[in-house]
């Protein structure tokens, strides 16, 4: 009888594990991104390779925006935001992380020589774990990046960027269950006193991109389009500074 109960428990545990993994895979899939966003047109050239998705204005540009996705999130979940940044006159590049893990791919911009044109300014941004690794990249390469933007992350936490000389902006959501306001405020001493903070009232974690709900996140009280508009306008204002 005891042996039978153990077998039943194991089967239930395996079933639960499989269902949980499937739920995670489904929830992190890209959601609501029109196919046209990933296609070139008369003003934007789109290149989709093994390492990047890039949106390049066909007019001349001086600034390059590089984006690190959150852990487990598909790169094209951030395509609507990055395409709009390109439509405003800046080259925009999403880095595709190996196994969708920013900790494995945060050095890709150096590996593929994205910084070879010294006449350009480079803005590095990242969401969630991607934000953590964007901060890590700046910590390790202080002369390569001109501006840093952190979205939906409480990092840096384990290292100090307070003496960084580059402009930094952190964008948070008041309903973010994974990078809550308390955690963001607790780590403020790790960033320069000049850091610009933007709090999106009603915004949550998953609406920083276009994908499903995320375990541990809180429900947003604004819709994704409204949150994305605030993110875009904040980034554009910061880039123009």
Which residues on neighbouring strands pair with residue 46, listed in sequence order?
A: 55
Percent of residues, the chain, with pLDDT higher than 70: 88
B/e letters for 60-91, b = 16+ CB within 10 Å, e = fewer, are ebebbbbbbbbbbbbbbbbbbbbbbbbebebb
Residue 133 is encoded by which pair of tokens? 């690794």
Q: Has residue 236 got a pLDDT over 70?
A: yes
User: Distance between CA 144 and CA 146 in Å, rounded?
Assistant: 7
pLDDT of 93 strictly over 80: yes
pLDDT (average), residues 26-37: 85
- Residue 33 CA to residue 163 CA, distance in Å, equals 38
What is the overall mean pLDDT for the chain? 92
Is residue 163 within 8 A of residue 104, CB to CB? The reply is no
pLDDT at 170 over 70: yes
The pLDDT score that the predictor gives to residue 214 is 86
- Alpha helices per DSSP H over 171-223: 181-186
- For residue 13, what pLDDT is reported? 61
Tens digit of each residue's pLDDT (9 = 90 or more) over 94-138: 999 999 999 999 999 999 999 999 999 999 999 999 999 999 999
Among 19-23, 44-48, 228-232, the least confident range:
19-23
What domains can you pick out in the chain, each with its CATH number? Answer: 31-240 (3.40.50.1820)
Nearest to 100 by CA among 35, 25, 31, 36: 25
pLDDT, mean of residues 198-222 = 96
Q: Would you place residue 232 in the very low, low, confident or very high pLDDT band (cuts 50, 70, 90)?
A: very high
The count of residues in the chain is 241
Is 50 exceeded by the pLDDT of residue 19?
no
pLDDT at 21: 47
Report the C-alpha gap between 189 and 9 in whole angstroms.
47
How much is the pTM? 0.91
- 150 and 183 in contact (C-beta within 8 Å)? no
Is a pLDDT exceeding 80 seen at residue 3?
no
User: Alpha-carbon distance 120 to 144, whole Å?
Assistant: 11
pLDDT given at position 27:
57
Cα separation, 213 vs 26, whole angstroms? 9
C-beta pairs of 8-16 under 8 Å, 24+ apart in sequence? none
What pLDDT, on a 0 to 100 scale, did the predictor assign at position 25? 56
> Is residue 160's pLDDT more than 70?
yes
Neighbours of 156 (CB within 10 A): 23
Is the per-residue pLDDT at 5 higher than 80? no
Query: In 3D, which of 132, 138, 126 has the Cα closest to residue 75?
Result: 126
Peptide bond into 164 cis (omega under 30): no
């Amino acid at each position: 009888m005891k042996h039978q109960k153990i077998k039943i428990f194991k089967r239930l545990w395996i079933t639960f594990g499989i269902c949980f993994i499937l739920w995670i895979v489904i929830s992190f899939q890209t959601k609501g991104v029109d196919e046209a966003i990933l296609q070139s047109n008369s003003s934007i050239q789109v290149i989709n390779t093994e390492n990047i998705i890039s949106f390049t204005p066909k007019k001349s540009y001086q600034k390059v925006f590089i984006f690190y996705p959150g852990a487990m999130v598909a790169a094209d979940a951030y395509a609507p935001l990055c395409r709009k940044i390109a439509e405003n006159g800046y080259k925009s590049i999403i880095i595709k992380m190996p196994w969708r893990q920013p900790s494995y791919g945060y050095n890709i911009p150096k590996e593929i020589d994205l910084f070879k044109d010294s006449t350009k300014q480079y803005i590095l941004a990242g969401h969630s774990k991607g934000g953590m690794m964007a901060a890590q990249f700046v910590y390790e390469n202080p002369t390569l990046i001109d501006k840093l933007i952190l979205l939906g992350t409480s990092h840096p936490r384990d290292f100090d960027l307070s003496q960084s000389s580059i402009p930094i902006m952190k964008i948070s959501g008041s309903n973010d269950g994974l990078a809550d306001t308390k955690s963001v405020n607790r780590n403020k001493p790790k960033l320069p006193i000049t850091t610009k903070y933007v709090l999106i009232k009603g915004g949550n974690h998953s609406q920083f991109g276009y994908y499903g709900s995320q375990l541990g996140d809180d429900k947003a009280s604004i819709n994704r389009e409204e949150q994305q508009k605030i993110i875009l306008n904040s980034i554009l204002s910061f880039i123009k500074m």
